Amino acid sequence: MRPVMAPFRKMTPMRKLFYFLLVAGFVTAGLYFYPTARTAAGTSAQKGVFKRSPQQPLLDGLILLRAKELVEAPVVDGFQWPCGAPNGAMFYDAQPFGAMNPKRHGYHTGEDLNGIGGQNTDLGLPVYAAARGLVVYSGEPSPEWGNVVVLAHKMPDGTIMQTLYAHLQDREARVGQHVCRGQKIGSIGTAGGRYAAHLHFEAIPSLCIEAGMPGYHPRGVMNRIDPAELIRQHPAPPIPDPYLEIRRLRFREAAQQQQTGSSS
């Protein structure tokens, strides 16, 4: 052992500290990435859909989108309202984006969409995907949030936009699933009876899943943008989204070409 330790003993204290921090960094990285890699490698019963562990926070609940998700997020053809008619008819915004709520001591980070009957008249009504997207979160980040679904969308310029749907009564979306614009992903709920029935709807330009972040912010609206403004700037065409049918046809053609190639 003496010949091996001799060079270390001759090092200056600063060099010893440098090598100690370097080794500690490698050990810490290994402890973090090894279980993450094992989780990412798991696949569901459906081929090509991988599971996400609900416990992979980076900072205050943030979960970085994976490279696979960034690639698979589909390019949107526009956004529509997630409740009622695509143009938002039969619903109203009970608490607009950016509105100050003194009881909550902060500014609202989304929109609270309610049926025109008020109270719980909209309980159980369908919630639709505002645009074609990839489901990157489907769960309950906290009792106050209730059931939450988050979709990742690729904007025409290549940037990533996410839409968040909270307080759901139930979820009809699983992580890794592709959904088309207007597809049902859940229903309006009360977060376990904590609120009158409504949909908390957010638009988030971010590379991190932010389900469970505060719904109110004391100094503004964090990195959220106005969902109504997003829909106004990128309106969906007045036709059903053909995305899933086109995607199915492409997969079928690819499978046929592969089968033809293997038989020749």
Does 260 map to a domain?
no
Domains: count for the chain: 2
Instruction: State the pLDDT at residue 167.
Output: 97
Do 119 and 32 share a structural domain?
Answer: no
Does 253 map to a domain?
no
Q: Which residue has the higher pLDDT, 162 or 20?
A: 162
Q: What is the mean pLDDT of residues 65-84?
A: 96
CA distance 76 to 61: 27
Q: What is the mean pLDDT of residues 83-93?
A: 94
Q: State residue 160 phi and psi, 5-degree precision.
A: -100, 130
Q: What is the mean pLDDT of residues 190-212?
A: 95
CATH (domain of 167) = 2.70.70.10
- For residue 138, what is the enclosing H or E element? strand 133-139
Q: Which residue has the higher pLDDT, 201 or 18?
A: 201
156-194 tens-digit pLDDT: 999 999 999 999 999 999 999 999 999 999 999 999 999
- For residue 139, what is the enclosing H or E element? strand 133-139
Instruction: State the pLDDT at residue 18.
Output: 64
Do 24 and 123 share a structural domain?
Answer: no
Instruction: State the pLDDT at residue 37.
Output: 38
Do 177 and 130 share a structural domain?
Answer: yes
33-51 tens-digit pLDDT: 444 433 333 323 233 333 4
Do 193 and 98 share a structural domain?
Answer: yes
- pLDDT level of residue 57 (50, 70, 90 thresholds): low
Instruction: State the pLDDT at residue 59.
Output: 53
Q: Which residue has the higher pLDDT, 171 or 22?
A: 171
Half-sphere exposure (Cβ direction) of 133: Cα atoms closer than 13 Å = 31
CA nearest 204: which of 230, 185, 178?
A: 230
Q: Which residue has the higher pLDDT, 159 or 257?
A: 159
| Burial class, 70, CB count within 10 angstroms (exposed 0-12 / middle 13-18 / buried 19+) | middle
Q: Which domain holds residue 228?
A: 63-247
- For residue 147, what is the enclosing H or E element? strand 147-154
- Considering the chain, what is the average pLDDT of its residues? 83
3-state secondary structure of 76: coil
Instruction: List Cα–Cα distances, 242 to 99, 151, 183, 246, 247, in angstroms.
Output: 36, 18, 11, 6, 9
Q: Which residue has the higher pLDDT, 57 or 238?
A: 238
- pLDDT level of residue 12 (50, 70, 90 thresholds): confident
Does 259 map to a domain?
no
CA distance 140 to 167: 9
Does 264 map to a domain?
no
Instruction: State the pLDDT at residue 257.
Output: 77
